[in-house]
Structure 1
Amino acid sequence: MHEPQLIFQEIVDMMKRIERKLIEQQQIPTFDSISLTKRQESILMYIFSNENVTMSDIASYFDISRSAVSQTLNKLEEQDIIVRSINQENRRELDLSLGENGEKLHQEYKKVEEMIVQNYFSKIETEDLRQIRDTIRKLQGMIVEEEHQ
């Protein structure tokens, strides 16, 4: 195996171990109490991270059909996690917001995020964090750029 491949595998393994450990320590919400699929979880995290999200935004970001997004959102809406409303600027588009259960999950997620920053990220030198961020940003840029070629 070439060194870049070994380093890649090591990074993936470390991230999986970190995730497992944080879940084990109950520091990452697993959404088990409301039983979400991985796709529902991913879309919900996207909604948490972005304001004024539309179905088209989600379809584009995850590279899935609007129909697949709609099916996923139906399940989230049934559990009062999200609420859909007609976009006043483009009546053919639906705006998404958090329902009561979605707000509760979002607050839980924000508490966990703050705890992770306080317990771990705050103990790493800011310059080291910037270097990690910049390296990941560079990798992301290469992957996104290649995708559009």
Structure 2
Amino acid sequence: MHEHQEIFQEIVDMMKQIERKLIQQQQLPIINSISLTKRQESMLMYIFSTENVTVSDIASYFDISRSAVSQTLNKLEEQDIIVRSINQENRRELDLSLGENGEKLHQEYKKVEDMIVQNYFSKIKTEDLRQVRDIIRKLQGMIVEEKYESP
């Protein structure tokens, strides 16, 4: 089990180092001018990747209260990153869309993703990328689907 712990820590350390380096390389004006907390950024990434997202969707996805989601969204709305509107099918629910700064952020994040693919992923054999993806998918399945048992 000791070797598993060492490998796990190496992977975590490498991912943190990659994240730090990529953040340093991001010299995009809107990303650098808007300060987001980790929670705000996580919710925004979820909004970017999910169509017709609601407060309830976010609360369910992050397993937090609707109140906690609303508090975070208030800050994003103040910065014109998101816009809330009444859901026409369920008037008790709010739909979320991107505000002007949210659209700019989304475009810049897409540029970062494109840069990562072009500068790094494109230099790795597709088969190697598939292998990494499959291993991560297997780990995801184990974590998401299995019940945690204390050692």
What is the aligned length?
A: 149
1:36 shift after superposition? 1.4
Percent identity of paired positions between Structure 1 and Structure 2 = 88
Aligned partners of 1:92 and 1:29: how far apart in 2?
Answer: 37
Aligned partners of 1:119 and 1:35: how far apart in 2?
Answer: 26
User: Which one-letter code corresponds to 1:62 in the other structure?
Assistant: F
1:26 shift after superposition? 2.2
After superposition, the C-alpha distances for 1:77-97 in whole angstroms (9 at most, x for unaligned) are 111100011111211111100
What residue ranges of structure 2 are gaps of 5+ in the alignment?
none
Q: Residue 123 in 1 paired to residue 127 in 2?
A: no
Which residue number in structure 2 is paired with residue 77 of structure 1? Answer: 77
Root-mean-square deviation (CA, aligned residues, Å) is 2.0
Q: Residue 58 in 1 paired to residue 49 in 2?
A: no
Asked if structure 1 preserves the Cα contact closer than 8 Å seen for 2:59 and 2:69, the reply is: yes
After superposition, the C-alpha distances for 1:62-119 in whole angstroms (9 at most, x for unaligned) are 1110000000001101111000111112111111000000000000000110011000
1:32 shift after superposition? 4.2
Asked if structure 2 preserves the Cα contact closer than 8 Å seen for 1:23 and 1:29, the reply is: no
SS at match of 2:135: helix
Aligned partners of 2:97 and 2:58: how far apart in 1?
Answer: 13
SS at match of 2:136: helix
TM-score (norm 1): 0.92
